Structure 1
Amino acid sequence: MHDPNCIFCKIIAGDIPSSKVYEDEDMLVFKDIHPSAPVHLLMVPKRHIPSMAQVSVDDAPLLGRMMVKAPELAKANGCNPYPEGGFRLMVNTGEEGGQEVHHLHIHILGGARPWRKG
């Protein structure tokens, strides 16, 4: 499934360039163009799923693979090792959840923590 009006679908199709860090048959991972942390990657399923609110049990294998891949990509892209280092995974869902692009994506954030006050 592909949405011709979705910016992430256009990136997946190669119509819009991205700084790709990983790709397989089911997902694409690229650097965020407006990073919120020193490491800020976006993990995007290639199949258009509007948000976490639309996932089904059939999506469990894909989401599981994405979660397993995230630590490897975080480390490979500059996140310091656990436990002193680490990373944050974030999925925004819907307008009130802060979702700006309505194509399911997982943010991988690491390095200095801009979300930490002080």
Structure 2
Amino acid sequence: MTQVPGCVFCRICNGQDPTEVVYKDDEFVVFPDIKPASKHHYLIVTHEHIPNAKQLTQEHKSLVERLIQVGRQVLSERGADMTDVRLGFHWPPFNSIQHLHLHAISPASNMGFASRLIFRPGTWWFVSPEYVMSRL
């Protein structure tokens, strides 16, 4: 798997950062967002260093499907309201970390004003997994 020196998410995936990991397998690591938008806000990060969702190709279709599956699984296992979920990716140049990650947020209806803007689907800066899949 490709790792980039100095990438905080690569460091977390390699266990070199003291972040609380709530899920880990051969492809993904999941941990709470450092600035949660709601009670449940997790980042599903790929072990492989892919810079962002815009870099994904047709070969990544199953990877995106698994990102979604893991995001929903972690939310469910952690007691999130599965009827009020927001999943999405920040779209370049509006991503602050250059390492692919899916945001999984619940309850979406409890997000504050700023979070509703930052994680508003269908904008130039935040896109749904369905949008990403449609581009592959």
1:16 aligns with 17
Distance in 2 (CA, whole Å) between partners of 1:42 and 1:81 is 16
* 1:1-118 matched pairs, under 5 angstroms: 1-82=2-83, 86-95=84-93, 98-111=94-107, 112-114=110-112, 115=116
**Which runs of no fewer than 5 residues in structure 1 stay unpaired?**
none
Q: Structure 1 stretch 37-46 or stretch 106-115: which is displaced more?
A: 106-115
Q: CA RMSD in A?
A: 1.5
Q: If the length of structure 1 is used for normalisation, what is the TM-score? A: 0.86
Percent identity over paired residues:
28
Residue 15 of structure 1 and its aligned partner are, at CA, apart by 1.1
Residue 76 of structure 1 and its aligned partner are, at CA, apart by 1.6
Q: If the length of structure 2 is used for normalisation, what is the TM-score? A: 0.75
Point out 4+ residue stretches in structure 1 off by more than 4 angstroms. Answer: none
Distance in 2 (CA, whole Å) between partners of 1:58 and 1:113 is 34
Between the two structures, name the one with larger relative contact order (CA 8 Å, sep ≥ 6): 1
**What amino acid maps onto 1:18 in structure 2?**
T
Distance in 1 (CA, whole Å) between partners of 2:11 and 2:35 is 18
Residue 31 of structure 1 and its aligned partner are, at CA, apart by 0.7
**What amino acid maps onto 1:5 in structure 2?**
G
**Which runs of no fewer than 5 residues in structure 2 stay unpaired?**
118-136
How many aligned residue pairs are there? 111
